[in-house]
């Protein structure tokens, strides 16, 4: 959700004069159908589950497609800032057990995804790179999916893209 936070900061906290460009990575700009499914299927039963794991449940509710639409309606892009994005997509044959259910739900409703966020939802701005990765791989964290990519070179390309602009 860092990409949504950054967009909010730029748009609503008057930080546009301090930002040249924003590249979001695996950000659910249009929400996640997994969050929609979770709310519909488990409803308020999610709150105790998240509390047991010491996770604030509000974030999950904020990731529904409806809440993200509301967010997009109230957080316009700053004209002086250039926006780019990175989306992940993962082959179901290598998806780990943690992402199997969300990947299946998101794929059935939105198509290609990183195990949580669809490519369509992560696509934002002038250009979107699509990396073969699960949601954690995108931020260069180890994955349980069998994907063993090191995306440090991809990050360097993103930085060069900003400098070339």
CATH code, domain with 111? 3.40.50.1820
pLDDT tens readout for residues 45-82? 677 777 787 777 777 789 999 999 999 999 999 999 99
Number of domains into which the chain is organized: 1
Distance CA 30, CA 22 (A): 17
pLDDT band at 158 (very low <50, low <70, confident <90, very high): confident
Cα–Cα distances in angstroms (integers) from residue 24 to residues 110, 155, 158, in the given order = 19, 12, 11
Matching residue, tokens 């930080």:
15
Distance CA 31, CA 65 (A): 4
| Residue 119 domain boundaries | 2-164
pLDDT tens readout for residues 90-114? 888 877 787 889 999 999 999 999 9
Closest among 146, 30, 144 to 87, alpha carbons compared: 30
Least confident of 35-39, 46-50, 91-95, 145-149: 145-149
Distance CA 34, CA 16 (A): 32
Residues 6+ apart with CB under 8 A from 8: 71, 75
């Amino acid at each position: 959700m860092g990409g949504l936070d950054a967009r909010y900061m730029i748009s609503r906290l008057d930080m546009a004069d301090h930002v040249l460009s924003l590249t979001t990575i695996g950000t659910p700009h249009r929400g996640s159908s997994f969050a929609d499914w979770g709310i519909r299927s488990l409803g308020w039963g999610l709150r105790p589950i998240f509390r047991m794991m010491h996770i604030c449940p509000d974030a999950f509710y904020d990731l529904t497609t409806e809440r993200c639409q509301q967010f997009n309606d109230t957080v316009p892009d700053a004209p002086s800032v250039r926006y780019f994005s990175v989306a992940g997509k993962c082959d179901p044959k290598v998806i780990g057990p943690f992402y199997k259910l969300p990947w299946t739900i998101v794929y059935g409703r939105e198509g290609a995804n990183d195990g949580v966020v669809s490519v369509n939802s992560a696509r934002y701005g002038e250009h979107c790179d699509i990396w073969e990765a699960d949601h954690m791989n995108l931020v260069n964290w180890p994955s349980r999916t069998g994907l063993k990519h090191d995306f440090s070179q991809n990050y360097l390309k993103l930085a060069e893209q900003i400098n070339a602009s």
